[in-house]
Structure 1
């Protein structure tokens, strides 16, 4: 029987694939770290974790955009850009 040990650490490549497959998800960062949340409206939940260097690589990906004015002070959120 396997025990769920919580969110796993992933690299930027896996994280962008996850974000593209789950458009409601987002990349969140604060002073404690960075994680992928399954729903960008509920940034406390963690689906995947990223090391700081991987998070920086992900933030630089042109497929993501920074969301301004989120409810949590000190926290930033990136989501997949909508392509038209």
Structure 2
């Protein structure tokens, strides 16, 4: 029987690569907890976890932008900017 170990803890470099390869994904923060969700429209799911220092580095990356007005008031969401 296989046991799901849950989301992996990653660093900012790995997380930005994941976000760029999965444009539907997003970086979430709530109550000092940070995670990558596979779908920015469903922020409850967690595929990767980040500690606070790595998450702060990631959220300040110029490739990401903060999304305003998401459904969870206490939650913040960043997604990859669309480059044209």
**Given the two structures, how large is their TM-score scaled by the length of structure 2?**
0.96
- Could you list the runs of 4 or more consecutive aligned residues of structure 1 that deviate by over 6 angstroms after TM superposition? none
Stretches of structure 2 that go unaligned for 5 or more consecutive residues are: none
Tell me the C-alpha RMSD between the 2 structures: 1.0
Q: How many pairs does the alignment contain?
A: 84
Residues 22-33 of structure 1 correspond to what in structure 2 (within 5 A)? 22-33=22-33
**Given the two structures, how large is their TM-score scaled by the length of structure 1?**
0.96
46-55 or 1-10, larger mean C-alpha shift:
1-10
Residues 12-23 of structure 1 correspond to what in structure 2 (within 5 A)? 12-23=12-23
Please state how far the C-alpha of 1:2 moved relative to its aligned partner.
4.8
